[in-house]
Structure 1
Amino acid sequence: MFFVIDNQSKKDYVKKIIKLNPAIIPKEETLIAIFNEIRNTQAGKKNTSVVEGVTLEAPDEVLNYGRHLTTTEIRLLVLNRILNQKVIGSNVPRSFIYTYSRFPEENRNNLLEDCQLDLSRALFNSNCKEDFWKLFENIYNIITNNPLDNINELYRKLDKNIINRSMDFTTLSLKYFISVIKDGIEL
């Protein structure tokens, strides 16, 4: 968990959260926008209920009031902002439509939900967070080096060792994640 420290810049605060390769780190104005979004979301939570007159016995009791952002919530805010789109609960990504349309029509909604569930599970799996960000970085680099490739070609270029450590994804949900990143980055 990271806390804002007065002598730390906004961009450095966000860089500590995402720990990505410098080539993937967004522009300074995007980092500041991410910081401001985190700050505003946290401020909104602080104003949701009254806690006047409450005496805390220990620091951990502050968590009982739900007026904080979890690490997971912060990561999702950051990922949404980096990709310039809502990662979970969105429509079919443009790059995934070919795969989606080939799937049996009666199972398409389940496919989309399963892919989003796998992505959510991978994003929020605290035991594999480093593997998730390595996978994100690998996908990002392959897309930027091969911007015209479709998701199947991009999938075949991924580092197999990283794929094997990404146990929350199936082949289809990983292709979905590739399409989310492909559609989300500006090339």
Structure 2
Amino acid sequence: MGYTIRSSEKTSSSASEMETKALLHLLCEDGANGNITGFAIDFFNDVTGMDRNALRLYDIQSKGTDSGPSALGQELVTLYKNYISEFKRFFVAQILFVRSVTGPVLGDQVLTEFRYCDMTEAAQKKLRSSFVQMCEEKTYIDNDFLDDEVIDAFLDQVLFVVAKSDKEDYIRPLIKTKNALGVTDRDLRAIFAEIRKKQLGIKTSSKVEGLELKSPFEAFNSGRFLRRSDIELLVISRVLNRNPLKAGVPKPFESIYNGFEEDYAEEMLEGCQNDLAKQMFTTPEASAFWKLLNDIVTAIKNDPNKGVEEIYREIPLSTLDGCRQMDALSHQYFISIVKEGLKIDKD
């Protein structure tokens, strides 16, 4: 038997905000690990992070209201559906992402992440009872799986996460640089809104209810998949005021470009673009890339009249060496893109 998509549905705008926060929570938590390649949207669950071969699935269900013990129990059903499914071996994390929890859940404790064992004894009983009752009502949960031992193992594995209230707190960690770029909270909220719009577009782009899968990798072909690189490119593009991968020949780079023979100039330009693309999406070197961007912006702001080659010579060698996918030419190409995008008035 395979895995059947069930309970895929459209959602309200308030819920979609929580789903975007859930997606960005997974992305921020993954950080430089690079385990998550992209996200299945309203497919296995609200959001499911996936590695490059769909062998590791990070499952997250979101809830956009205040949650007491009983409500938490009810919301665990879709996570449990995947926990006991034919794809069980692929799900490496079960996360319930909530706006807030009521006092009875944790008692006097103030936690933003917690487990079932951290709850008060009364809350555990209410959650478990509510969870079992909801499972009994769902036709896709076989009664054979309402075994105490299986349920206990599942509850022990679930991570409960309380969402941050501010949207910008989910974008700021993606911009791994000092604020030389002058990015404001308003800018961060605008980026969040664009990611949410992209996520909603994917969510409504195709019908998947009832779809039968033989393997998780089929999610890549479903039309319900958002790549990590698309989010990273969106963030960088908004910070630079342009898409760096569609920059063509920036004006500050024209003198370098024109110095090459015509046949080789295009080949050189393509090489610079490829190097930049690899650098942008080499997750373990993300901090190095943002350090490079920060140093370039600082140098340009210190003296907007300086040319690309002069700025290149000012960048610390340690910064240049940290971006291992780029060479001298692709560094200068990137400097040109940043210089053109900033549009700083010269003296």
> TM-score of the superposition, structure 2-length normalised?
0.49
1:3 aligned onto 2:160: no
Matched, 1:35 2:192: yes
* Superposed counterparts of 1:1-187, under 5 Å: 2-3=24-25, 7-54=164-211, 63-64=219-220, 65=222, 67-187=224-344
Query: The residue matched to 1:8 in structure 2 has which SS?
Result: coil
1:67 is displaced (CA, Å) by 2.1
Measured after TM superposition, the shift of residue 176 of structure 1 is 0.1
Deviation at 1:114, TM superposition (A): 0.8
Letter of the structure 1 residue corresponding to residue 281 of structure 2: F
Q: CA deviation at 1:125?
A: 0.9
Identity level (%): 34
Structure with max Cα Rg: 2
Q: How many Å apart are 1:98 and its aligned residue?
A: 0.9
The residue type paired with residue 3 of structure 1 is H
8 Å CA contact 1:85–1:184 kept in 2: the answer is yes
Q: Write the distance in 2 (CA, Å) between the matches of 1:23 and 1:161.
A: 19
- Could you say if the C-alpha distance between residues 51 and 180 of structure 1 is closer, same or farther in structure 2, counting changes exceeding 3 Å? same
Distance 1:76 1:105 in 2: 30
SS at match of 1:92: coil
Residue 110 and residue 61 in structure 1: after superposition, are their counterparts in 2 closer, same or farther (change >3 A)?
closer
Is the alpha carbon distance of 1:63 and 1:136 closer, same or farther for their aligned partners in structure 2, counting shifts above 3 Å?
farther
CA contact (8 A) 2:180 2:294 kept: no
Structure 2 CA distance for aligned equivalents of residues 23 and 165 of structure 1: 19
Secondary structure, counterpart of 2:245 in structure 1: coil
Point out the structure with the larger helix share. Answer: 1
Alpha-carbon distance between aligned partners in 2 of 1:171 and 1:16, rounded to the nearest angstrom: 28
Unaligned regions of 5+ residues in structure 2, if any?
1-22, 27-98, 100-162
C-alpha contact (below 8 Å) 2:252/2:340 kept by paired residues: yes
For the residues of structure 1 that align with 2:332 and 2:219, how far apart are their CA atoms?
37
- Native 8 Å contact 2:247 2:337 kept in 1: no
Residues in 2 aligned to 1:135 and 1:36: alpha-carbon distance in whole angstroms: 27
Tell me the amino acid that sits aligned with residue 15 of structure 1: R
- Measure, in 2, the Cα distance between the counterparts of 1:23 and 1:99: 26
Give distance in 2, aligned partners of 1:38 and 1:150.
Answer: 35
Q: Does the residue aligned with 2:25 lie in a helix, a strand or coil? A: coil
Letter in 2 for 1:125: T
Q: Which has the higher strand share?
A: 2
Gap runs ≥5 in structure 1: none
**Cα separation, 1, equivalents of 2:319 and 2:192:** 29
Q: Is the 8 A contact 1:151 1:178 kept in 2?
A: yes
Structure-1 residue corresponding to 2:123: none
Letter in 1 for 2:305: L
Shift of 1:9: 1.6
Higher relative contact order (CA 8 A, sep 6+): 1
Deviation at residue 22 of structure 1 after TM alignment: 2.7
Are the aligned partners of 1:2 and 1:17 in contact in 2 as well (CA < 8 Å)?
no
When normalised by structure 1's length, the TM-score is: 0.88
1:37 positional shift: 1.0
Cα separation, 1, equivalents of 2:296 and 2:261: 27
1:70, CA displacement in angstroms? 2.8
Contact 1:96–1:175 (CA<8 Å) still a contact in 2? Answer: yes
CA RMSD between the two structures:
2.5
2: distance between equivalents of 1:131 and 1:63?
32
Report the alpha carbon displacement of residue 18 of structure 1 after superposing the two structures with TM.
1.4
> 2-side partners of 1:73 and 1:8: how far apart?
24
